[in-house]
Structures are given as C-alpha cells and as structure tokens.
C-alpha cells in the first residue's frame, strides 16, 4: 500500500465564531481523483484555501507526502507541488494568455535578478524553455491557438481551461480544482472530463470540488461529503449515492405527513 | 530580438545628440534635472507600475542618498564614488527595514505608512545635526577615476548615461519571469502566491531596487547642485513622481522619463504665462489622465497596436479562408 499523498488530521477553521470546518480528516491516494462535495457553505472552498496556504491560521495538521505543510505560506506550498485553480476565475488580466501560463512556471524557474540582468543568454534560454512549456500546457487543454489573446477576450470556458493550464505549468504532484465545471455547457464539460482524465494519466493526483453530481460521479475515485463544516461521509461514488446521510443533507429529511 | 534593440538604441542616440543640437546650458541644466528625476521614476515604475505598490516615501529615499553623499564627501572628505556607493547601500538597508513591515499593507495604507516614514526622515534632515533648514552647502563635484565633473555637459552625460543604464536593467527585469511575477502580484496577490511567487519577497526586492535608483539620483543631485536643503526633499517630490509616472504611462519604464520631461520642460514653454503656470499644468494633467488613462506612452502604444491590428486584420482576412479549410480537413481526418 503506497503512502497517501495528502492527509488532513482534525482540520478546523472558524471565521470569527462561524465554524467553517470542524475536525475534518481525509487521506488522498496518489494518482487518484478525490472529490469533495456538499451543499453551499459546507466548507469545501475553505478546505482548499487551507491546503493551498491562502489561510494560514487554522487548527489541525495537513501533510503532503508525509511532510507537514500546515500553516505555511501559499508560495511555499505551491513550490512543494500543490497547485490550484479558483472558484471564481482569478487570472492575471494584465498579462496575455501565454504569459499567464508562464507565471505558473515561477516556482521551478526561481528567477534571479542576477540572471535577469547579466545573463543575457541564459535568461533568453530560460524564457524559451518557459514559453515552450507554456505552449505545451495550453496545447494540453486545447487552447494553444489563443496564446496571444487578452485574457478578458476569452469565453468563460476557455478562461477555466486557462486556469487549469496555468496550474499545470507549475508541474504539480497534486492539483486542486475548485468547481471546474461550474458555468460550462455540455460540450465544454465533455472537454473538461477528457482533460481531467488526461491529467490522471500523467499520474497527477487531483482533488476536485464540484456541484454537478453527474459530472463528479463519473470521474471520481473517492468522494468526501461535507455538510456544515463536518465530514458526513466518504466512499466510492456508488457508496455515496446510497448513503442516507448524504441524501438527507442534499434533499432534507423525509417528512412524515399523515 | 533585434526589434527589442530599436527603441533603446534610438533613445541612446537621442541622449547623445541632445547637447550637441541644443548646446545652450539653460536647456542642458533642465535636462540634467529631468534625468535625475527620470532615474528615480524608472525605479518607481518597477515598484508602482509593475508591482502595484504605491509609495509616498520616495522623497525620503532620495534625501537619504543625497545627504549621505553630501556629508561623506564634505565632512569626511570621502571620494565621491565611495560616498555614492555608501549612500546607495545605506538607502537600500533602510528601504529593506522599512519595507518588511510596510509592504504587507495594501493600497492607501501602504501609501500612508510610507508617507509616515518620509515625515520621519524629513524631520531628521531638518534637525541641526544635518545642517538644519539651510542644509549642506559647498558639496564637492563628482569625481570618477581622477576625472572631475565640473561642466554641465559632463554632468549631462553622467546622469543620462545612468538613466540609460537603469532603463536597460529595468527592461531586462520586466521582460523575464521577474517582471511577469511582479505584474501577477499587481493583479492578484493571493493567486500569485498560489503560483509559487513569494509575494512579500518580490515586493521587497522591487522596493529596494527603486530605493537604490533614488539614492543614486540623490547623490547626483547633491553633487550637481553643490547645495542641498530639506526643502528639496519634501512630500511634493513623491507627488511629482506619481504625476510623472501616470502622465507618461505606468508600467512602460520609458513613460516616467517622458513624464519627467513634461513636468520640467512644460513650464519653460509657457513663458510669459508664468502666473497661470500651476493652473495650466493642472489642467493639462487632468486632460491627459481623463482622455489617455494609460498615460501618454500607454496611449501611444495602444494607438500603434490599434492601427497595427487593423492592418493585420486586413491581411488576415485573406488567409482566414485557408484557416477554415485547414480546420475542416483536421476534423475530417479524425
């Protein structure tokens, strides 16, 4: 049995009295697709923000490849190999499509002033490597024909794909996708599904928050269900659809009238 | 690659030819001051135009550079180059220490915090330890390996040589991963952090780099004018920097220089309208900022892009057909 790539131990977070997450434990197997679902406000995005280091003040422990990464800043965690996308697309609007992806390479390039200023040849080479890698990532998600476009001229679907390309450019071992299918039409969703399977083939573990049930059931290996900050179930898609607690959380308790 | 050299090359030729075409020392003096402010504003663009961090404390950094050189050369008899180097190091150190806590702040808060720092430095400089309100006088001229800079023209080439160099350095920084990282921090610090960018570090680096340029400018200012007084380093300097940057175009590196030129040379063209100077200047600034929000240079590049885009689109129309056929074939092949 291989070690889990990401483990969370009694993870708690509260926002000024509002308990967003309470004692959430989880374990993610390397190479798998792990989905987090739950009604609105269940704490799914909060969990992502804790893992990726956007919030650093929380309780509990998160380990990545058996190494504790809890309470560390975002760039530290990103450079360890955890990359993410955002629920509301957060691209760098002052950069072109290709440049956005190139920013994703920042971690493994570790740019230096000395090289930038004096190493004219090595800097040019570095740029070329990043540019080629960026194009490859754009090609992977299928928008490489739009490299020089402005970000805002892309459709929402393409912007979401661009965010995935940007996250992949960091060469992550774990990819956090926050509602990748939200706002996509059926055609784009089909493309997205192919991309997610493509990422899985490259042995990159994925953790996905999603609302679209058909979508999530068809792609995930394991599903964790959160409700009001607490984990109420975990299992394979088949187990989750039959789980009474989950049904209750989504549809409410069966009422007995007469 | 080659086309990247055209604009700096043209600028270099322009800088070199200017004193030959306009030998009047009146114009050269104005241009030395344009260059000194240009030096600061180039670094300021890196900090504000690229990183998006607003500082109103650059007058203090300018002052520290100037006073360090003035005191080291006049009171301790140091050679000017060593004094300048020392002033730059001191300014960078202070910028580093001030930057660590303040750069965590955002927007207006950062502006106000850096302004507080500027007030502290200004009151120090006004104290009797540093010559009081009359400042330091009779600062020796700049010397470099035995060559004494004693004419306006020699200072002109010194200042503009450094401006040219700083432009090249900043352009290189901006065109590599560092520049992209800065722009990313500008738009969305959180997302930039999640892309592996050490946000605090990249902001601090830009702040220290801009401080170094401000210190060099301060040192040149002290040597050229031979006299420095606290009045030349008040908050208006930082306000002028802001004006220069946004008039010329933030995030363009060259823009600030253009802005500095407008700010210093415009009053000279007004001539007998002197009494209306401030009002006219203010009016021009408002017009530019309202109608050309990207600054003059920003507006110009947009115009170029538009005309170029139009031209390209016309060319594209003919090739679009082929593109369509190609796509059709590809789908068919599958």
DSSP 8-state code for residue B47: I
Q: What tokens were used for B46?
A: 């890196």
Compute the mean pLDDT over every residue in chain A, rounded to the nearest whole number.
90
pLDDT score, position B2: 54
Interface A-B: count of C-beta contacts within 8 A:
103
CB B245 within 8 A of CB B45: yes
Q: Find tokens 């979401």 and name the residue.
A: A160
**Is the sign of the CA dihedral B62, B65, B68, B69 positive or negative?**
negative
Pairing of β A205-209 and β A33-37 = parallel
Task: Please tell me which of the candidates A52, A106, A124 has its beta carbon nearest to residue B197.
Answer: A106
- Using a CB-CB distance cutoff of 8 angstroms, which residues of chain A are in contact with residue B194? 52-54, 74-75, 78, 83-84
Please give the CATH number for the structural domain made up of A90-171. 3.40.50.300
Q: Which residues contact B3 (CB under 8 A, 6 or more apart)?
A: none
Q: State how far residue B179 is from chain A, nearest Cα, in angstroms.
A: 10
Q: What tokens were used for B31?
A: 């241009």
- Dist. CA B283–CA B267, nearest whole Å: 13
Phi, psi dihedrals of residue B4, rounded to the nearest 5°: -70, -20
**Same topology for domains A1-81+173-258 and A90-171, yes or no?**
yes
pLDDT score, position B61: 96
CATH fold group of domain A1-81+173-258:
Rossmann fold (3.40.50)
Q: pLDDT (tens digit, 9 = 90+) per residue, B71-95?
A: 999 888 889 899 999 999 999 999 9
For chain B, what's the residue count?
334
- Band of residue B189 on the pLDDT scale cut at 50, 70, 90: very high
The residue of chain A with its CA nearest to that of B184 is A92
- Using a CB-CB distance cutoff of 8 angstroms, which residues of chain B are in contact with residue A108? 196
Q: Sheet of A33-37: strands edge to edge? A: A82-84, A174-178, A205-209, A33-37, A222-227, A230-235
Alpha helices in chain A (DSSP H): 44-51, 74-80, 97-103, 106-109, 113-117, 120-141, 156-169, 186-201, 213-219, 237-242, 244-251
- Dist. CA A28–CA A23, nearest whole Å: 16
Percentage, residues of chain B above pLDDT 90: 45
CB A98 within 8 A of CB A147: yes
CB B70 within 8 A of CB B139: yes
The residues spanned by each domain of chain A are 1-81+173-258, 90-171
User: Which of A84, A24, A77 has the alpha carbon at shortest distance from A53?
Assistant: A77
Side-chain-facing half-sphere of B167: CA atoms under 13 Å? 26
pLDDT score, position B6: 83
The residues spanned by each domain of chain B are 2-291, 301-334
Alpha helices in chain B (DSSP H): 6-21, 25-44, 58-74, 80-102, 107-126, 152-175, 177-187, 189-194, 199-225, 235-248, 255-270, 277-291, 295-333
Q: Find tokens 């060469």 and name the residue.
A: A171
Q: pLDDT (tens digit, 9 = 90+) per residue, B4-50?
A: 778 888 888 888 888 888 888 888 999 999 999 999 999 999 999 99
pLDDT score, position B93: 96
Q: pLDDT (tens digit, 9 = 90+) per residue, B279-291?
A: 877 888 888 888 8
- Band of residue A221 on the pLDDT scale cut at 50, 70, 90: very high
Kindly state whether B195 is in contact with chain A, defined as any CB-CB distance less than 8 angstroms: yes
Of the listed ranges A39-48, B54-63, B163-172, B270-279, the least confidently predicted one is B270-279
- Dist. CA B157–CA A149, nearest whole Å: 41
Pairwise pLDDT comparison (A192 vs A256), residue with the higher score: A192
Q: State how far residue A242 is from chain B, nearest Cα, in angstroms.
A: 36
The residue of chain A with its CA nearest to that of B177 is A111
Burial of B153 (0-12, 13-18, 19+ CB in 10 A): middle
- Dist. CA A230–CA A14, nearest whole Å: 12
Q: Is pTM beyond 0.80 here?
A: yes
- Dist. CA B184–CA B187, nearest whole Å: 5
Element (H, E) at A25: strand A18-28
- Dist. CA B205–CA B53, nearest whole Å: 12
Phi, psi dihedrals of residue A103, rounded to the nearest 5°: -60, -35
- Using a CB-CB distance cutoff of 8 angstroms, which residues of chain B are in contact with residue A107? 195-197
Domain B2-291 has what CATH class?
mainly alpha
pLDDT score, position B183: 94
pLDDT score, position B322: 32
- Dist. CA B280–CA B296, nearest whole Å: 17
């Amino acid at each position: 049995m291989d070690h889990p790539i990401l483990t969370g131990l009694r993870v708690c977070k509260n926002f000024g009295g509002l308990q967003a997450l309470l004692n959430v434990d989880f374990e993610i197997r390397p190479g798998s697709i792990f989905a987090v679902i739950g009604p609105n406000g269940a704490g799914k995005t909060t969990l992502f923000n804790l893992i990726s280091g956007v919030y650093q003040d929380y309780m509990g422990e998160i380990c990545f490849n058996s190494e504790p990464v809890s309470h560390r800043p975002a760039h530290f965690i990103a450079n360890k190999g955890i990359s993410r996308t955002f629920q509301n697309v957060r691209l760098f609007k002052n950069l072109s499509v290709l440049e956005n992806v190139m920013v994703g390479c920042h971690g493994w390039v570790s740019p230096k002033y000395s090289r930038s200023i004096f190493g004219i040849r090595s800097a040019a080479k570095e740029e070329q490597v990043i540019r080629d890698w960026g194009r490859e990532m754009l090609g992977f998600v299928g928008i490489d024909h739009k490299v020089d476009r402005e970000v805002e001229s892309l459709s929402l679907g393409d912007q979401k794909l661009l965010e995935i390309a940007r996250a992949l450019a960091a060469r992550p071992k774990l990819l956090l996708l926050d509602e990748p299918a939200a706002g996509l039409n059926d055609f784009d969703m089909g493309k997205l599904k192919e991309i997610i399977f493509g990422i899985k083939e490259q042995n990159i573990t994925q953790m996905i928050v999603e609302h679209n049930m058909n979508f999530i059931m068809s792609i995930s290996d394991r599903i964790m269900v959160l409700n009001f900050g607490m984990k109420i179930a975990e299992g394979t898609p088949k187990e989750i659809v039959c789980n009474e607690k989950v049904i209750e959380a989504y549809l409410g308790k069966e009422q007995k009238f007469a | 690659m080659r086309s990247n050299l055209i604009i700096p090359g043209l600028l270099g030729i322009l800088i070199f030819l200017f004193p030959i075409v306009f030998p009047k020392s009146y114009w050269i003096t104005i241009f030395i001051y344009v260059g000194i402010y240009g030096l600061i504003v180039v670094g300021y663009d890196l900090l504000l135009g690229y990183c998006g961090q607003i500082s109103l404390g650059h007058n203090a950094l300018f002052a520290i550079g100037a006073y360090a050189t003035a005191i080291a050369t006049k009171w301790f008899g140091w050679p000017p180059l060593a004094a300048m180097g020392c002033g730059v190091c001191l300014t960078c150190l202070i910028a580093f220490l001030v930057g660590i806590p303040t750069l965590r702040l955002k927007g207006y808060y950062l502006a106000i915090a850096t302004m507080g720092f500027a007030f502290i430095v200004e009151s120090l400089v006004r104290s009797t330890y540093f010559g009081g309100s009359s400042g330091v006088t009779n600062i020796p001229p700049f010397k470099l390996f035995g060559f004494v800079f004693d004419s306006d023209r020699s200072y002109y080439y010194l200042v503009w040589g450094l401006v040219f160099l700083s432009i090249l350095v900043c352009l290189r920084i901006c065109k590599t991963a560092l520049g992209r990282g800065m722009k990313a921090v500008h738009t969305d610090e959180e997302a930039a952090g999640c892309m592996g960018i050490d946000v605090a570090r990249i902001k601090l680096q830009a702040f220290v780099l801009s401080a170094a340029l401000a210190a060099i400018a301060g040192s040149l200012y002290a040597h050229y004018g031979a006299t420095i007084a606290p009045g030349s380093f008040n908050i208006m300097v930082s306000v002028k920097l802001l004006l220069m940057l946004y008039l010329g175009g933030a995030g363009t590196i060259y823009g600030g220089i253009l802005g500095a030129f407008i700010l210093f040379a415009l009053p000279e063209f007004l001539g007998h309208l002197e009494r209306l100077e401030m009002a006219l200047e203010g009016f021009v600034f408002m017009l530019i900022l309202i109608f050309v929000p990207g600054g003059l240079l920003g507006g110009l590049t947009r115009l170029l892009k538009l005309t170029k885009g139009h031209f390209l689109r016309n060319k594209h129309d003919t090739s679009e057909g082929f593109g369509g056929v190609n796509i059709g074939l590809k789908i068919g092949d599958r």
